[in-house]
Amino acid sequence: MWTTPRLAPRARTEQGKNVRMALRRLAGTAGGRISTAMARLNARHPWSHNDHFHGWILGTLPERRRSALDVGCGRGELLAALAPIFDHVTGTDRDEEMRAQAAARCAGLPRVAIDGSDLAEMTGPFDLVTMIAVLHHLDVPEALREVRRLLAPGGRFLVVGLAPPRTARDHLWDLASVVSNPVIGYVKHPWPDRRGVQPPPYPVAEPTLSFDELRRHVAAVMPGAVMRHHLGFRHTIVWTAPGSTEPVSG
């Protein structure tokens, strides 16, 4: 009979470290090579990794739907999706060109307002605050505290975020995203786009906080928040502010 060799605790720790390092190297090099080869493929079958999460947001809404705030609204696609659901929808973006595009996208939607204010200047309460690919543009602890201040009791914070991979688990999620990316691209955009790699349609920033670092910040300000990795090089955060929503009349 074959038995697993028993290792002393110290040797087990070493072995675990080696496995993690090897995994990290494998994920790094394999991911790097594959992603270079796949960049061209992705340019031919492009898809919006941000808009892809609108379905998740619409499926995770709070019970009460009076007012929603989308921070860093970009071209206003999410505002347009929230407009039929909430009484009032506000989109903020610090970029003037983005605000102009969002205003054009939401022209004719009377419940939507576009604003250039910072979070600290806003007054709530909001039943929903969303950020898609925005939290890493902000001072994270300060932004989280502002969102907590702005949320109504029972209101919900929904984040779709990015973080640089640091742990073996992060690298494996990245590798899975690299591999699944063109498959999702083929499904969403079957006909090849021949324009080549396009610049991002909005201001971007490089994320610096890892998933685990971000989780520590989130836990300190929003205890009980749930963070999850997803395909598409994204993670999500869900937090519901304490306090029950008043009964909805009508």
Ligand X SMILES: C[S@@+](CC[C@H](N)C(=O)[O-])C[C@H]1O[C@@H](n2cnc3c(N)ncnc32)[C@H](O)[C@@H]1O
In one letter, which amino acid is 145?
Answer: R
Site map 81..110 versus ligand X, x via CB under 6 A: -----------xxxx--x------------
What are the tokens at 112?
Answer: 């939507």
Task: Give the shortest CB-23-to-ligand X separation in angstroms.
Answer: 30
Task: Give the shortest CB-6-to-ligand X separation in angstroms.
Answer: 51
The answer to whether 74 contacts ligand X (rule: CB under 6 A) is yes
Task: Give the shortest CB-160-to-ligand X separation in angstroms.
Answer: 7
Task: Give the shortest CB-29-to-ligand X separation in angstroms.
Answer: 28
- Residue 57 φ/ψ, nearest 5 degrees: -65, -45
- Indicate the length of the chain as a whole number: 250
Site map 20..59 versus ligand X, x via CB under 6 A: ------------------------------x---------
The CA distance from 227 to 211, in Å, is 9
The answer to whether 134 contacts ligand X (rule: CB under 6 A) is yes
Applying CB under 6 A, which part among 1-9, 31-39, 199-207, 213-221 lies near ligand X?
199-207
How big is the CA angle at 49 (ends 44 and 50), to the nearest 5 degrees? 140
How many chain residues interact with ligand X (CB under 6 A)?
Answer: 18
Question: Nearer to ligand X by C-beta: 80 or 227?
Answer: 80
Strands (E), the chain: 67-71, 88-92, 112-115, 126-132, 151-161, 226-230, 234-240
Task: Give the shortest CB-231-to-ligand X separation in angstroms.
Answer: 17
Exactly one of 138, 151, 227, 237 binds ligand X (CB under 6 A); which one? 138
The CA distance from 241 to 221, in Å, is 11
In the β-sheet with 126-132, what is the strand arrangement from edge to edge?
112-115, 88-92, 67-71, 126-132, 151-161, 234-240, 226-230
- Residue 69 φ/ψ, nearest 5 degrees: -125, 120
Task: Give the shortest CB-165-to-ligand X separation in angstroms.
Answer: 18
Where on the chain is the footprint of ligand X (CB under 6 A)?
A: 50, 71-74, 92-95, 98, 132-134, 137-138, 202-204
